[in-house]
A and B are shown apart, each in its own frame.
Chain A
Amino acid sequence: MAKNVLKLENVTMQFGGVVAVNDLSLEVNEGEIIALIGPNGAGKTTAFNCITGVYEPTNGRISFNGETMLENCPHGKMKKLYAGTNAGKFTKVIRKTPDVITKMGIARTFQNIRLFKTMTVLENVLVACHMFVKTGVVFSMLGLGKKEEAAMRQQAMEYIRFMGLEDVADEIAANLPYGKQRHLEIARALAARPKLLLLDEPAAGMNPQETAELMELIRRIRDEFNLTVFMIEHHMDLVMGISDRIYVIDFGKQIAEGTPVEIQNNPAVIAAYLGEEEEA
């Protein structure tokens, strides 16, 4: 049996009256490439935001390598408003902040690219290396961190080279073409040295050829850095070509789980996507 890296149990995320993620349970095992798909507004990004601690889920438990990162039960105002299921199942309130979760080994990219716009490509990646810095702030101020800084730069350059950004290392991030910005998002996430990498629509806005290259790249990332990949993606070629397993959600609820072949033939999935097309 493969080792369980990420586990979601009955996770529900409710904003006011909107239940964006509804009773979602899933597991990601070590070394897998798992995809999370679903129509627009299905709650995929919200699920990622719960895993990375940006949102506090209303109910449920999320654990990483067997350790509970987040656990919540409807409390406070949500006690009355709660519209999900399993209200009594969890009792504790555990909440780790996003930076702690990243330090535990989960790094992510953002669907709506969130680079540090005024900083260079290299500096963007260096920010992700910052959490490993040992020199204290006072020593840094006295200029005593030069050696560590040099080592950090070298390391950051390796991630930049891996993502093919060495030519633009000193460019301001905001000036990069769109595709390179997406690559930088991944380089930056890798620099956080994650065990689990979350990619939110890494192929958004890319043409078929770029998408094919990305597919190869994601495989290389998994193999070279020994990590597990959990990604949200709309490009079906990419999803079907690379995923070990796929989770499908619609209106926040899981409607299917399985291998690419199983998913392609699943009537519920076909209905959900057809429904979307009719709406559109």
Chain B
Amino acid sequence: MSKKKKNIINICLLAALFVVLFVLEQTLSGGSMLLTVLKKGAIYALIACSMNLLNGFTGLFSLGQAGFMLLGAYTYAIFTIPVEARADVYQYFDGGIIQFTLPVIVAIILAGIVAALFASLIGMPVLRLKSDYLAIATLGFAEIIRAFMMFEGLGPITNGSNLLKKFPTFSTILFPFAVAGVCIALIVMLINSSYGRAFKAIRDDEVAAEAMGVNLFKHKQTAFVISSFFAGIGGALLAMYQSTVQANAFKSAMTYEILLIVVIGGIGSITGSILASFLYIASSEWWLRFLDETAFIGSFQVPLLRSGFRMVVFSIIIMVIVLFYRQGIMGTREYSLDALLRFFKNLPAKIKSIGKKKKGEDAAASEEVQ
């Protein structure tokens, strides 16, 4: 297949995805679980990719994602609440001091810029030190920024510990997909550029990278700032998805959740991060929900099923993945049309071979018994 032909097929697949999304939205009710999962999955895919850029491709272990998302979410919310609604939202702060609104797209980009700005400030001292300090510094930053946002003195801007609400949300599911899609495409383009190679070189061997003329600080800073920029945009999208924002929701648990997605997908694979995001969100929000609800078969109450059990099952799944599939779903492989076609071509054979293997094992086992 020629490269051109492949490109055309890929574009068609992408277009088909958007058509399917559009049809789903038209046919399913607004509260449909599938739509919810798709929306949140797209947002998490972007955030996971931004984290993978730093942790997977540049080899810098950062734990600040929730902090940068928080900055993005707040920036977006603060600048898009309609002027008429401000008196109500900022009811304890005389309507707040910001009395204008920005267009949604501008506010989303600003969300990224604010997060990037903070990243460059933190990066300046920390990225010159050994890499280990970055995890501690970013984790600390995320916690501090969360407390800072709830500080009543900043109330006229951040609304203190009160909710921010009434800002524009998604009018269609296509919106988060389009924004996340464009951002992920930019990340992929960066990774495939000369800069991306320099990032990977730093990950593989810092001393050798520096000896080949790669300015370590400059490149680490670039990766960190860009990663934070997209985390900020992800935060803005998350705000739109939730329709309200409160600093307290952006705990470090959120960062771990994203780290987990990156690990499940494969550290160093953008495709993996995207797949894992949808799988993770679908499992935690939907497929495993039933575990939290008491269920009856006739008058018999199914044991174990009660509130909180979902998290137990979830933890076990995660442990299994970390213990047995350390490579994650994709390892460091990426999507390509060829690989996809090969996968589907080999699928029947694979399923058959699994069946055969089972039979073979059974046979072996029965022989042993004899």
Contacts and interface: CB of A to CB of B under 8 A. Distances in A.
Contacts, number: 107
A54 B211 contact: yes
Contact of A145 (B186, B193, B207, B208): B193
Contact of B213 (A54, A116, A128, A148): A128
A253 interface: no
Given A130-B198, A149-B194, A117 B204 contact: yes
B198 A98 contact: no
Interface in B191-233: 193-195, 197-198, 200-201, 203-205, 207-216, 222, 226
Interface string A96-138: 0111001100011010001111110001001111110101010
B193 A149 contact: yes
A142 interface: yes
B190 interface: yes
A131 B189 CA distance: 19
Contacts of A97: 210, 215-216
A107 B215 CA distance: 14
Interface residues of A, number: 37
Contacts of B204: 115-119
Given A99-B215, A118-B332, A127 B193 contact: no
A119 B213 CA distance: 17
A129 B204 CA distance: 17
A116 B201 contact: yes
A130 B213 contact: yes
B211 A52 contact: yes
Given A123-B197, A140-B189, A143-B189, A102 B212 contact: yes
Contacts of A116: 200-201, 204-205, 208-209
B216 A110 contact: no
Interface in B295-345: 332
B129 to A, nearest CB: 15
B294 to A, nearest CB: 49
B214 to A, nearest CB: 6
A140 to B, nearest CB: 4
B213 A141 contact: no
Interface of A: 52, 54, 97-99, 102-103, 107-108, 110, 114-119, 123, 126-131, 133, 135, 137, 140-143, 145, 148-149, 152, 188-189, 192
25 contacts: A97-B215, A98-B207, A99-B211, A99-B214, A99-B215, A102-B213, A110-B208, A114-B205, A114-B208, A116-B204, A118-B268, A118-B332, A119-B200, A127-B214, A130-B201, A130-B212, A133-B195, A137-B193, A137-B195, A137-B222, A141-B189, A142-B189, A145-B193, A149-B193, A188-B212
